[in-house]
Amino acid sequence: MDPSMPSARRALLRDLFDQGINDLDVLAAIQNIPREWFVPPDLVDRAYDNTPLPIGMGQTISQPMIVAKMTSALAIEKDSRVLEVGTGSGYQTAILARLAPEVFTIERFDELSRLAMDRLASLGVTNVRSRVGDGTLGWPEAAPFDRIILTAAGPRIPPALVKQLAEGGRLVLPIESTPGVQTLYLFRKHNGELEPQSLGGCRFVRLIGEEGWSENEVR
């Protein structure tokens, strides 16, 4: 590993703190996960830039600020069961696995899922279960989940995920309301209803699946 990486990681943490990320558990997780392991070899020198980076298959590893914001909004507790839709590189998965006892993650690309799980295994992560499939349908046999996070933007909240969210649970996801306009939301489930809170604008790849966008809509 490049010896400059630890200092670059510290600089990123200072940047996140200065931008309002004050959840110490989330910052500690980011401090302990080597982001350079989750980016393509030719982008390792940019691993700690506060920006998204391509990982192949038309997908990206999210900007660290967005990872921190979404993870903080989840408010993961020591007994939280977490569902992640969109494994991608596995970086967000690794952060979740530092905070939750159980993480279930779904990826639609077999190659990305395999590479992500290899990286997690190399880090000694053993509390993540993965599958390849349509993330918009969730993981019904493992539900309910206390926390659900989507790392791709759909036109609406997938109804299957609403059903799989436990009472009192939290759902964090981006929604694309009009072409090119996306907003990050936190939803809390109370008496079976979702209470929304906007977390600001964002930009994600589109969520493909039965309860998301169709393949034709993203071409």
Catalytic member of 4, 7, 62, 122:
62
Q: What would the 3-class secondary structure string for the chain be?
A: CCCCHHHHHHHHHHHHHHCCCCCHHHHHHHHHCCHHHHCCHHHHHHCCCCCCEEEECCEEECCHHHHHHHHHHHCCCCCCEEEEECCCCCHHHHHHHHHCCEEEEEECCHHHHHHHHHHHHHCCCCCEEEEECCHHHCCHHHCCEEEEEECCEECCCCHHHHHHEEEEEEEEEEEEEECCEEEEEEEEEECCEEEEEEEEEECCCECECCCCECHHHHC
Tell me whether residue 214 is one of the annotated catalytic residues.
Answer: no
Interatomic CA distance for residues 92 and 46, integer angstroms: 17
Which sequence positions are flagged as catalytic? 62
